[in-house]
Amino acid sequence: MTAPYDPSQREKVVAKLPSKLRRELKVRAAEVDTDIQDAVTAGVEAWRKAKSRPMVDTSGGTSFATYLPAGLYEKLKKDCKSRGLTYNQGIAQSIRLWLDEHPSPRPKPARVTGARRIIFGNQKGGVGKTSVSAGVAQALAESGHRTLLIDFDPQGHLTKQLGHLLIDIDDPSLSKHMLGEVKEAALKDLLVPIQGGDFEDHLWLLPACKDAFLLDAKLATSRVVRIKETALEKALEPLEHDFDFIVVDCPPSLGYSMDTAIYYCRTRDGEESEASGIVIPVLSEDSSADAYDMLDEQVQDLVADMEVEIAQLGFVVNLYDSRKGYVATSSLAEWQKIGEPPVLAIVPELKDQREAVRMKAPLLAHAPYCEQAEAMRTIARRISG
């Protein structure tokens, strides 16, 4: 398992930093494709060599945690004492120095295809599609991307886990927009902002509706939707230029609705390869492999029938615990052996995500520095790079 730090070589460091500085660090780390802990480490090492640095306003600071190589924090504290600074000020200056030395890359040219579209799918239920799609959406938003998270699963677990109500069956919904049953209400009116953490003001949710269980049957018989696979894309098209990423938590099925999601994440004309695509959450056991085979067949059938390119961006091995023994470790090795698509990250089985669900809070707000949160940031960096 790849953890965000090696306990034998790193130690936890907790400081209080203003939210603006925390967010700037997270955004810049994502932009230059580096771990936050490595950015802070480089900043501390550079700060120790610098003679003096301007003071950083740390008023209103809240808890910030990371991991530094063993012994480095003690050296930092000694340097702070000799310079007459608080430890918080030393960390803040170190981060500010790293930010100054790593300016933001030039913005990429404006996209002509709208938002990048990332769907999370697997025919098998219980693999953590909801928790992973939500965590990655939070990480994308935290790094400065305007992100829309869509609950496309009729069970509505994502909506409930984030503390929101499902849309009533008689009200306008994504399903009704897909079926052409809504004449006046705009889809954007259904979006709700997700509050908390450093992703605030960058993340929105399109809640699930109780009518989504009927979507497959209605798509099959609809005379309004001529090409079934395009239904989701047509419904979401008005929203695309308002967002950088649209993340879809898909149902655990192989029906028409899943076809619409797979088609939606295809590579469009003029779009870079793998700018959009599908991420497959799996477990380290055989049933996940069987489910992936079925999903892959569905993807390949759609590729052949519609003559499109659909990128499989990678696997996320979720809820991994090496203590489960040979079944877990050998299955992980099999996922890694595939090579293409790659394993994007290994998410450990820890209590933080379960606690966040219980409290109906986003993971990156509830436990922003836990191992699972760092894994979500790793996935976000790899798919947004």
Reported as a single tens digit per residue, the pLDDT across 305-354 is 999 999 999 999 999 988 888 888 999 999 999 999 999 999 999 899 99
Q: Is the dihedral of CA 349, 352, 354, 357 positive or negative?
A: negative
Confidence of residue 226 (pLDDT cuts 50, 70, 90): low
Q: In this structure, which topology does domain 10-101 adopt according to CATH? A: Arc Repressor Mutant (1.10.1220)
| Tokens coding 144 | 């400065």
Fold of 116-384: Rossmann fold (3.40.50)
Give the chain's length.
385
Tokens coding 4: 């965000």
Asked, as a colleague might, if the bond just before 368 is cis with ω within 30 of 0, I would say: no
Task: Using pLDDT thresholds of 50, 70 and 90, give the confidence band for residue 8.
Answer: low
Asked if 21 contacts 40 with a C-beta cutoff of 8 angstroms, the reply is: no
62-69 and 10-17 beta bridge pairing: antiparallel
Q: What is the pLDDT of residue 4?
A: 44
**pLDDT value for 183:** 79
Q: Burial of 150 by CB count in 10 Å (0-12 exposed, 13-18 middle, 19+ buried)?
A: buried
Counting residues of the chain whose pLDDT is more than 70, the rounded percentage is 95
- Cα 357 to the center of its chain, rounded Å: 16
Mean pLDDT of 238-258: 93
Average pLDDT over residues 253-273: 92
Q: Spell out the domain ranges in the chain.
A: 10-101, 116-384
